[in-house]
Amino acid sequence: MAENTFDLVVVGAGPGGYVAAIRAAQLGMKTAIVEREHLGGICLNWGCIPTKALLRTADIYRTFKHAKDFGLKAGDIGFDLEAVVKRSRGVANQLSSGVKHLLKKNKVQVFDGHGQLAGEGKVKVEKDGKAVADISAKHIILATGARAKTFPGLEADGDLVWTYKHALVPNTMPKKLLVVGSGAIGIEFASFFSTMGAEVTVVELLDRITPAEDPEISAFLEKALKKDGLKIKTKTKVAELKKGKGEVTAVLDENGKTSEITVDRVIMAVGIQPNIENIGLDKVKVEQDKAGFLQVDGYCRTGTPGVYAIGDLVQGPWLAHKASHEAIVCVEKIAGMEGVHPINREHIPACTYCHPQVASVGLTEAKAKEKGHEVKVGRFPFVGNGKAIALGEPDGLVKTVFDAKTGELLGAHMVGAEVTELIQGYSIAKTLETTEEELMHTIFPHPTLSEMMHESVLDAYGKAIHF
């Protein structure tokens, strides 16, 4: 077995890994990437992309059911679950093939197998227990990602109890569904299955859903989801899952009060855990937090020179675009480029693609105050926007948080139609360190949803026009 020598080897080909490999190749490095399962990783194959395909189907189905509100007639509305899933898988497969093409185009050598550190500057690759290659590289980036977190007694079995992976390829449409966890993954699946006709209950251990979001946005979303038919239980723990024939009874503990709910299926969406097993961490000096995530600096460097870590393997937020940006920063720093900035986590936007959508960037109002800022807060409701009303999407809110003394945009928080597309405007503003004055002087096109972003800024300073 020949030894392969490279400038850089990346272990894992998700949205962090493959981006790192491509950028390194662009910068003239001889680059290899090791992937044991899917090019594109979880996000592309079993996460971000296929879930959006499912949610697009749900959006269209929802519109069909409200056809009369638009002056249209549509009868016998239904769906073919197998065809819905097939389309979702087709979208994922198309993009996975695209990643393969990009790696080939950039002359990145791909090794099919499981990679693990084998000493300083060494990676060994195995497949089905057999050696594939020994790789040497001055720089090694670990990008092995994460998987669904499990708890003893609440493990998924793929039949009655699902993870996100099982929920993406359901063999049945449950009449009653329990979703455990109300982060982005849990809420997106709850929204999808509810729209498609399931009676959905969401259980959250904390005191509100989407706990990473601004509390005002979480409250707005909860109200909207309940209006749409979802049942939501906060401050509630799943103590036990009792499996029967074709059904599951969940024992719930709500502030010490015990109750039971029987459903057809359960989706466990209680977070993720890093893939740190069998990647050779014992061969290097790498610090980990209590949950096992690797500790790195702003340039994704571990405690061992030449070893780096990015994506879901390191501290959150655990988002594909965060992983891709880390990849660029890490590689460009390795290449010695000037002007490379360390990761600023306050500039990372977050998106949840339920109905209504949720998006945010920067500090919440509460976090801004905790950091000592005197704040000015602006709000603008979708019901005051002509485009939102024309679309039949009048439920939503845009909220902006500014430093009262400097006018710095500290955070932006949105719930409503297409806010996952709108949030990039505020992301750019934060990256450019834009002030309220510059946003006020920006001309927003009419009629658009983006006008609400302008109005929210105006409202923070008592200048809103349309509400």
SS3 at position 229: coil
Interacting residues of 69 by C-beta distance below 8 A, sequence separation 6+: 392
Is 188 annotated as belonging to a binding site? yes
Is 186 annotated as belonging to a binding site? yes
**Beta strands 307-309; 130-142: pairing state:** parallel
Interacting residues of 16 by C-beta distance below 8 A, sequence separation 6+: 41, 143, 145, 310, 311, 312, 320, 323, 324, 326, 327
Is 312 annotated as belonging to a binding site? yes
Is 204 annotated as belonging to a binding site? yes
Is 187 annotated as belonging to a binding site? yes
Active-site residue, from 166, 321, 446, 454: 446
Nearest partner of 400 among 376, 382, 429, judged by Cα? 376
Q: Which two tokens stand for residue 181?
A: 């966890």
SS3 at position 159: coil
Contact 319/154 with Cβ under 8 angstroms?
no
Instruction: Give strand ranges (E) for 353-435.
Output: 357-362, 375-381, 397-403, 409-416
Is 311 annotated as belonging to a binding site? no
Terminal C-alpha separation, the chain? 71
Nearest partner of 54 among 164, 181, 212, 145, judged by Cα? 164
Is 272 annotated as belonging to a binding site? no
Nearest partner of 431 among 349, 370, 333, 351, judged by Cα? 349
Give the bridge partners for 201, in sequence order: 178, 231
Is 183 annotated as belonging to a binding site? yes
Is 298 annotated as belonging to a binding site? no
Does the annotation count 466 as an active-site position?
no
Binding residues for FAD: 52, 115, 312
Binding residues: 52, 115, 181-188, 204, 271, 312
Binding residues for NAD(+): 181-188, 204, 271
Active site residues: 446
